[in-house]
Amino acid sequence: MTVESLEGGAAMPVPSLLAVFAHPDDESLSAGGVLAQHAAAGARTAVVTATWAADTHRGAELAEALRILGAGEPRMLGYADAHVPQSAPTGRISPWLDNR
For residue 53, tell me if it sits in a domain.
Answer: yes
Give the tens place of pLDDT for each residue, 21-50.
Answer: 999 999 999 999 999 999 999 999 999 999
d(CA 1, CA 94): 28
User: Is 60 contained in some domain?
Assistant: yes
| Residue 65 covered by a domain | yes
More confident site: 34 or 94:
34
Q: With 60 as the cut, is the pLDDT of residue 93 above it?
A: no
pTM to 2 decimal places: 0.75
In a domain, 63, yes or no: yes
Q: Total structural domains in the chain?
A: 1
Asked, for residue 66, whether it belongs to a domain, the answer is yes
- Domain presence at residue 27: yes
- Write out the residue range of the structural domain in which residue 29 sits: 16-95
Element (H, E) at 48: strand 44-51
- Own/partner pairs, 89-93, CB within 8 angstroms, 24+ separation: 89/53, 89/55, 92/53
Q: Is residue 39 part of a domain?
A: yes
**What pLDDT does residue 41 have?**
93
Q: Is residue 22 part of a domain?
A: yes
